[in-house]
Amino acid sequence: MMNFMPGCIFCGSGADFDVDGFLASSPWSGIADIFRRGPTGNAYRPIRESSSLQIAVSPIDEHLLEPQTDATLSFLRSYEAEVRRLVRFPGVDAVEFRMGLFWLPDTAIYPISLTPSFLKAVGDVGATVDIYVYASDGVN
């Protein structure tokens, strides 16, 4: 049994992204997790190729798609101008909403359907949606 569930994470990243410069005047300062390009001190990933910021958009224990898309739309309503600023910020290569789902045993098909209004809202700000489907033996 897995001890975590993915939820939706908002991420902005780029090899030349000055994450500290961006956050200096951002409402996300203090709530975003920051990852800086360069040595990490981690044997698994000794060098981070890009700098990035990440913000939990939905609870990390949310494994259903609809609540994640609802949380993303709420995030966009609250921070649309800031998401657009991030998309245009120098050095930013990618702005993504990363949604996680579990593929459960005995599942023959996992339909993923995103509404036109959701896709339009994300596309209008210049972000992408990435859906990660994790193998699992069950969900808590």
Q: Please check whether residue 102 lies inside any domain of the structure.
A: yes
| Residues belonging to the chain | 140
pLDDT one-digit tens code per residue, 77-126: 999 999 999 999 999 999 999 998 877 777 777 778 888 999 999 999 99
Residue 1 lies in a domain: no
- Whether 122 maps to a domain, the answer reads yes
Note whether residue 41 is domain-resident.
no
Total domains, the chain: 1
Residue 27 lies in a domain: no
Residue 112 lies in a domain: yes
Total-model pTM:
0.83
Report yes or no on 38 lying in a domain: no
Task: Please write down the long-range contacts of 118-126, taking CB distance under 8 Å and 24 or more positions apart.
Answer: 118/69, 118/72, 118/73, 121/72, 121/73, 121/76, 122/72, 122/76, 122/97, 125/76, 125/80, 125/83, 125/84, 125/87, 125/95, 126/83, 126/84, 126/87, 126/88, 126/95
Structural domain includes residue 2: no
The parent domain of residue 72 ranges over 8-16+54-135
